[in-house]
């Protein structure tokens, strides 16, 4: 957290997030990059809870929270109203939520928002787990991760499914800009928010955010782990414009790390190291990272 | 000028006269003709609003929530399952004090699936913090929409205008719509008390803990309780301008000297009035109390209107399963602690589009004249079918 | 108050027929109400629509059980359906048929008028649009509806050449049934 910290007037400190919260870093960076002329529609989740405990609020921009699954729809209503009231030129609209709000319960509303082509940037803070309700599995929880609803046991190696490919889903809907980023590199977030907001139409930014309690990590290690996720190929950082891959964050050969370096630091993957069978699972995760490197051209 | 119009078209035209800036809905029978007409008005340039095609009722309600919070006059419409799918947002809109207006084309609720009229859908949402108005005929449904926006915006409480599906939405009958100028002078442009804007950033929808939640809810409760004056004023002003008055929260028909009073909401009142005319001609002292808004609940007005009667029959198209008709229970509450209480009976009728005939209403009234004992009855049932099902069990 | 019941099949314009009648009655200074026997009917399924006409405002919302008049757009509906159930003594029954009305098996006591609406529609309109023809026949046989008002309603709803052909067919039906009551 020592480097690249973004000072923010727009999402103020004094909130009640956990120490080391990656989502707080990311959200503050997004708010600051977007600037004051913005309206934010926030889904229910950690970010909403830790920034707006009545009667206090961290938000110095107009901000609305309605429900868990409707941030995209509320943002649609805001965007249409701004147009109808002749205020569309003055203010930009951001919808944001966690991975559960985005990949699971809010997916239908997001599909409608994208299909209708609203002028909205949707930001997903991907902690890979339902952080707010106590670390249950979401559609963006990675393979084999332990959560409170995907525990390990005689019949289980943790989460049995692979991470849902949300960027591809957004791109398939015709989102004009689709990008991934990470709390590990806040300047990357800043650049992408600014770029996204310079474009018109539906846009998507998915930010990998370490969750201290959800991942079972030391509060000082989140940012470092987020960077290892990138440099191992597990969390590819890329941009797509009009559905075409236009830019990726390359992994330099001397930066490349095996996935073990990422997995071994987190309690959610600790079961993979406790029994001999775990080796096959770690190998499968390594193959998935390799395949990301191939698919997105992260090293070429 | 009066002309023949289908109920849905007339309501859509009335909504357009209210000049909403954002309209968003999802089609569901029997609400469809309303939103189709609005789509046409929008396509023809006669509705200057953002018209959003939602992918579900849930989103439709969320879109008008967002639009209203941004300072736009916002409208939606639904029915039955659609209304139930909206429920989470419906509560939210009220809690956030957003003056949205919605038409409910009343329809039965599944299962079994049934597209015909009753009032179970909106009655099930009576506790959501919206003002609920029920229209007797197409004219009243039209007039109520203008009043609804005025009431909603002056109180920051959303309003549902409920009209019986098919019976009113699909009926063609004479309607008198105001001119655009008349509508404008009754309903001024929306001036939101608060809205989302960077020039005065505010946080809407914050989390309220046990230290604050109750107070926030009580503020809404109190506003709702104090809404009676605003509702009455909206009706009185409307009458002054357009010459039509359908009551504020209640209206009565041959009620003054009535020994038996029938209570109902919505389109059934028309049939009921014809039945009462015939009963009066036959010399029976029967009258009607029409409930126009169930929220806020006009408790003292109902007490005053009903307390002189020997018997009260609440005829309604909904049921709290395991109890009785919902309105009947609430009317009983109006007599809590009263020294003199009429015999109040619940008559559940017309569920799922079962037709209610004038003769049934007369039978209920005559039954109450001869016996005012409190009772719960379901009228118009096929007892043979029930008996056979019971045997099989 | 006069009550009219319309029987037809989905797609034959039954609801519109009712609206034409109500609009024409209203244009003639009366109160009127038209509504369908609401259903989730698809094309081809039996449909019922109702019209009430009165010199006083109409408040009654129940279905029509004892109609003064009956309009049957599809004679095949007589099979297996009690179309004349509740029909008042001496009521007018207007049926779309090219055969003798005696063959329809309708009970005695009603004034039955047959009109070959389908044939007429194909000949004059060029399309099987029968509701305007049936409404014309009803106006001719009942004398309760003004043709000018009907024409205005049809023209408003179907402006253009097709509507004009429908009006020609409607007039033919109106004249055809003069004095044809059984």
pLDDT in tens, B159-186: 999 999 999 999 999 999 999 999 999 9
C24 to chain B, minimum CA–CA distance in Å?
10
**Contact assignment for A67 to B202 by CB distance below 8 Å:** no
* Confidence (pLDDT) at B126: 97
Q: What is the 3-state secondary structure (H, E, C) of chain B?
A: CEEEEEHHHHHHHHHHHCCCCEEEECCCCCCHHHHHHHHHHHHCCCCCCEEEECCCHHHHHHHHHHHHHCCCCEEEEECHHHHHHHHHHHHHHHHCCCCCEEEEEECCCCCCCCCCCCCHHHHCCCCCCCEEEECCCHHHHHHHHHHHHHHHHHHCCCEEEEEECCCCCCCEEEEECCCHHHHHHHCCCCCCCCCCCCCCCCEECCECCCCCHHHHHHHHHHHHHCCHHHHHHHHHHHHHHHCCCCCCCEEEECCCCCCEEEEECCCHHHHHHHHHHHHHHCCCCEEEEEECEEECCCHHHHHHHHCCCCEEEEEECCCCCCCCCHHHHHHHHHCCCCCCCCEEEEEECCHHHCCCCHHHHHHHHHHHHHCCCCCEEECCCCHHHHHHHHHHC
**Chain A contacts of B62, Cβ < 8 Å?**
66-67, 70, 73-74, 76-77, 109
Closest CA to A107 of A41, A173, A162: A173
Residue B312 is part of a domain; what is its CATH number?
3.40.50.920
Whether B347 and B254 map to the same domain: the answer is: yes
Q: Which chains touch A (3 or more CB pairs under 8 A)?
A: B
Mean predicted confidence (pLDDT) in B33-43: 97
| Alpha-carbon gap, residue A216 to A147, rounded angstroms | 10
Q: Would B155 be classed as within a structural domain? A: yes
Q: Would B329 be classed as within a structural domain? A: yes
C60 touches chain B (CB under 8 A): yes
Q: Which domain holds residue B262?
A: 250-388
- pLDDT tens-digit series, residues A35-92: 999 999 999 999 999 999 888 999 999 999 999 999 999 999 999 999 999 999 999 9
| Alpha-carbon gap, residue B331 to B347, rounded angstroms | 13
* Confidence (pLDDT) at C176: 92
Whether B230 and B280 map to the same domain: the answer is: no
Tokens of B249: 């929260």
Of B240, B265, B290, which residue is a domain's last? B240
Closest CA to B11 of B141, B126, B121, B133: B141
Whether B266 and B220 map to the same domain: the answer is: no
- pLDDT tens-digit series, residues C69-124: 999 999 999 988 899 999 999 999 999 999 999 988 898 999 999 999 999 999 99
Q: Would B346 be classed as within a structural domain? A: yes
Whether B76 and B132 map to the same domain: the answer is: yes
B53 to chain A, minimum CA–CA distance in Å?
8
Q: Which residues of B touch C (CB under 8 A)?
A: 3-4, 6, 29-30, 115-117, 137, 164-167, 170-174, 267-271, 273-274, 353, 355-358
Of B69, B198, B207, the CB nearest to A64: B69
Q: Chains C, B in contact: 3+ Cβ pairs under 8 A?
A: yes
**Chain C contacts of B167, Cβ < 8 Å?**
35, 61
* pLDDT interval class at C37 (50, 70, 90): confident
B271 to chain C, minimum CA–CA distance in Å?
4
Mean predicted confidence (pLDDT) in B351-361: 97
Q: Which chains touch C (3 or more CB pairs under 8 A)?
A: B
Whether B151 and B33 map to the same domain: the answer is: yes
Q: Would B272 be classed as within a structural domain? A: yes
Sheet containing B172-176: order of strands: B2-6, B172-176, C31-36, C46-54, C2-9, C69-72, C92-96, C111-115
Task: Map out the domains of chain A with their CATH numbers.
Answer: 22-296 (3.40.50.970)
Tell me the fold of C2-176. Answer: Pyruvate-ferredoxin Oxidoreductase; domain 3 (3.40.920)
Whether B221 and B260 map to the same domain: the answer is: no
**Contact assignment for A61 to B201 by CB distance below 8 Å:** yes
Whether B29 and B10 map to the same domain: the answer is: yes
Residue A6 has pLDDT above 60, yes or no: no
* Confidence (pLDDT) at A3: 46
**Contact assignment for C38 to B170 by CB distance below 8 Å:** yes
**Chain B contacts of A76, Cβ < 8 Å?**
52, 59, 62-63, 66
| Alpha-carbon gap, residue A43 to A117, rounded angstroms | 20
Residue A7 has pLDDT above 90, yes or no: no
Mean predicted confidence (pLDDT) in B113-129: 97
Residue B129 is part of a domain; what is its CATH number?
3.40.50.970
Residue B85 has pLDDT above 90, yes or no: yes
- pLDDT tens-digit series, residues A8-47: 689 988 889 999 999 999 999 999 999 999 999 999 999 9
Q: Give the H or E element holding residue A205.
A: strand A203-208
Whether B121 and B254 map to the same domain: the answer is: no
Residue C182 has pLDDT above 60, yes or no: no
Closest CA to C117 of C59, C61, C71: C71
* Confidence (pLDDT) at C40: 64
Cβ-contact A197, A171 below 8 angstroms:
no
**Chain C contacts of B3, Cβ < 8 Å?**
26
Cβ-contact C128, C167 below 8 angstroms:
no
B72 touches chain A (CB under 8 A): yes
Q: Chains A, C in contact: 3+ Cβ pairs under 8 A?
A: no
**Contact assignment for B70 to A77 by CB distance below 8 Å:** yes
Closest alpha carbon within chain B to C38: B166
Contacts of A177 (CB under 8 A, 6+ apart): A195, A196, A199, A201, A203, A204, A239, A240, A241
* Confidence (pLDDT) at C52: 98
Of B65, B70, B208, the CB nearest to A66: B65
Whether B201 and B255 map to the same domain: the answer is: no
Of C15, C26, C38, the CB nearest to B116: C38
* Confidence (pLDDT) at B141: 98
* Confidence (pLDDT) at A1: 38
Residue C180 has pLDDT above 70, yes or no: no
B49 to chain A, minimum CA–CA distance in Å?
6
Whether B228 and B82 map to the same domain: the answer is: yes
Could you say which residues from 314 to 373 on chain B have a Cβ atom under 8 Å away from some Cβ of chain A?
Answer: none
* Confidence (pLDDT) at A2: 42
Contacts of B38 (CB under 8 A, 6+ apart): B12, B15, B16, B23, B25, B47, B51
The rounded percent of chain B whose pLDDT value lies above 90 is 97
**Contact assignment for C22 to B173 by CB distance below 8 Å:** yes
**Contact assignment for B4 to C19 by CB distance below 8 Å:** yes
| Domains: count for chain B | 2
**Contact assignment for A73 to B68 by CB distance below 8 Å:** no
Tell me the ipTM for this assembly.
0.94
Q: Would B393 be classed as within a structural domain? A: no
* pLDDT interval class at C39 (50, 70, 90): low
The domain spans of chain C are 2-176
* Confidence (pLDDT) at A4: 53
Which is more confidently placed, C39 or B283?
A: B283
* Confidence (pLDDT) at A297: 97
Residue B311 has pLDDT above 90, yes or no: yes
H-assigned helices in A35-182: 46-51, 71-84, 99, 107-116, 166-172
How far the first Cα of chain C sits from its last, in Å, is: 24
User: How many C-beta atoms lie closer than 10 Å to residue A172's C-beta?
Assistant: 12
- pLDDT tens-digit series, residues C44-76: 888 999 999 999 999 999 999 999 999 999 999
The half-sphere exposure of B182 on its side-chain side, counting CA atoms within 13 A, is 16
């Amino acid at each position: 957290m020592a480097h690249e910290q973004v000072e923010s007037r727009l999402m103020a400190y004094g909130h009640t997030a956990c120490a080391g919260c990656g989502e707080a870093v990311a959200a503050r960076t997004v708010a600051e990059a977007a600037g004051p002329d913005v309206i934010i529609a926030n889904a229910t989740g950690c970010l909403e809870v830790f920034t707006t405990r009545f009667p206090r609020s961290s938000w110095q921009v107009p901000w609305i929270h309605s429900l868990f699954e409707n941030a995209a729809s509320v943002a649609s209503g805001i965007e249409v109203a701004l147009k109808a009231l002749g205020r569309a030129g003055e203010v930009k609209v951001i919808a944001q939520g966690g991975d559960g709000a985005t990949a699971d319960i809010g997916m239908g509303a997001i599909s409608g928002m994208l299909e209708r082509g609203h002028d909205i940037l949707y930001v997903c803070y991907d902690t890979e787990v339902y952080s707010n309700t106590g670390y249950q599995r979401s559609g963006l929880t990675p393979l084999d991760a332990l959560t409170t609803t995907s525990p390990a046991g005689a019949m289980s190696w943790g989460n049995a499914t692979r991470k849902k490919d949300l960027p591809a889903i957004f791109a398939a809907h015709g989102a004009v800009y689709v990008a991934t980023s990470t709390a590990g590199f806040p300047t990357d977030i800043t650049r992408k928010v600014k770029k996204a907001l310079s474009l018109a139409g539906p846009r998507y930014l998915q930010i990998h955010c370490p969750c201290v309690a959800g991942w079972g990590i030391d509060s000082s290690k989140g940012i470092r782990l987020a960077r290892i996720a990138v440099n191992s190929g597990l969390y590819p950082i890329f941009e797509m414009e009009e559905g075409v891959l236009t830019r990726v964050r390359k992994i330099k050969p001397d930066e490349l790390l095996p996935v073990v370096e990422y997995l071994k630091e987190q309690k959610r993957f600790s079961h993979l190291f406790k029994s001999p069978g775990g080796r096959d699972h770690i190998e499968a995760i390594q193959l998935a990272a390799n395949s990301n490197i191939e698919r997105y051209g992260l090293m070429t | 000028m009066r002309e023949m119009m289908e109920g849905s078209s007339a309501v859509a035209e009335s909504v357009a006269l209210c000049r909403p800036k954002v309209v968003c809905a999802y089609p569901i029978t029997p609400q469809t003709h309303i939103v189709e007409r609005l789509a046409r008005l929008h396509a023809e340039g006669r509705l200057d609003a953002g018209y959003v095609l939602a992918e579900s009722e849930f989103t439709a309600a969320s879109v008008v929530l967002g639009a209203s919070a941004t300072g736009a006059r916002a409208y939606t419409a639904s029915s039955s399952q659609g209304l139930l799918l909206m429920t989470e947002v419906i509560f939210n809109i009220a809690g956030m004090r957003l003056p949205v207006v919605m038409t409910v084309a009343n329809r039965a609720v599944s299962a079994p699936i049934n597209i015909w009229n009753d009032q179970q859908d909106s009655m099930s949402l009576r506790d959501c913090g919206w003002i609920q108005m029920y229209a007797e005929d197409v004219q009243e449904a039209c007039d109520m929409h203008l009043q609804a926006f005025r009431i909603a915006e002056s109180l920051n409480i959303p309003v549902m205008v409920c009209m019986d599906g098919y019976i009113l939405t699909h009926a063609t009958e004479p309607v008198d719509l105001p001119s655009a100028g008349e509508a404008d002078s009754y309903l001024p442009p929306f001036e939101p008390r608060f809205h989302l804007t960077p020039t005065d950033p505010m946080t809407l929808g914050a989390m309220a803990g046990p230290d604050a939640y109750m107070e926030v809810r009580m503020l809404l409760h109190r506003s709702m309780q104090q809404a009676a004056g605003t509702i009455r004023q909206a009706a009185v002003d409307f009458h002054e301008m357009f010459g039509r008055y359908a009551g504020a929260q209640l209206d009565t028909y041959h009620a003054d000297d009535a020994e038996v009073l029938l209570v109902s909401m919505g389109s059934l009142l028309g049939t009921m009035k014809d039945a009462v005319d015939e009963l009066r001609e036959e010399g029976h002292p029967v009258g009607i109390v029409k409930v126009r808004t169930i929220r806020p609940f006009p408790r003292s007005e109902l007490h005053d209107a009903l307390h002189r009667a020997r018997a009260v029959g609440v005829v309604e198209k909904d049921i709290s399963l395991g109890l009785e008709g919902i309105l009947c229970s609430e009317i009983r509450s109006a007599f809590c602690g009263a020294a003199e209480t009429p015999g109040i009976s619940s008559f559940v009728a017309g569920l799922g589009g079962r037709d209610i005939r004038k003769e049934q209403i007369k039978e209920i009234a005559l039954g109450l004249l001869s016996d005012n004992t409190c009772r719960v009855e379901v009228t118009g049932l096929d007892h043979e079918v029930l008996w056979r099902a019971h045997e099989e069990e | 108050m006069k009550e009219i019941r319309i029987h037809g099949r989905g797609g034959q314009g039954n609801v519109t027929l009712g609206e034409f009648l109500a609009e024409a009655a209203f244009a003639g200074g009366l109160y009127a109400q038209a509504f369908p026997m609401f259903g989730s009917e698809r094309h081809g399924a039996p449909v019922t629509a109702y019209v009430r006409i009165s010199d006083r405002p109409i408040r009654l919302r129940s279905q029509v059980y004892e109609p003064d008049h009956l309009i049957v757009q599809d004679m095949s509906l007589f099979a297996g359906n009690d179309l004349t159930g509740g029909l008042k003594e001496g009521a007018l029954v207007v049926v779309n048929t090219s055969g003798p009305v005696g063959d329809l098996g309708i009970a005695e006591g009603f004034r039955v008028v047959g009109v070959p609406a389908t044939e007429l529609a194909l000949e004059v309109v060029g399309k099987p649009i029968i509701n305007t023809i049936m409404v014309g026949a009803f106006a001719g046989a009942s004398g309760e509806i003004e043709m000018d008002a009907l024409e205005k309603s049809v023209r408003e709803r179907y402006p253009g050449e097709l509507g004009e052909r429908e009006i020609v067919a409607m007039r033919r039906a109106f004249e055809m049934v003069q004095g044809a009551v059984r």
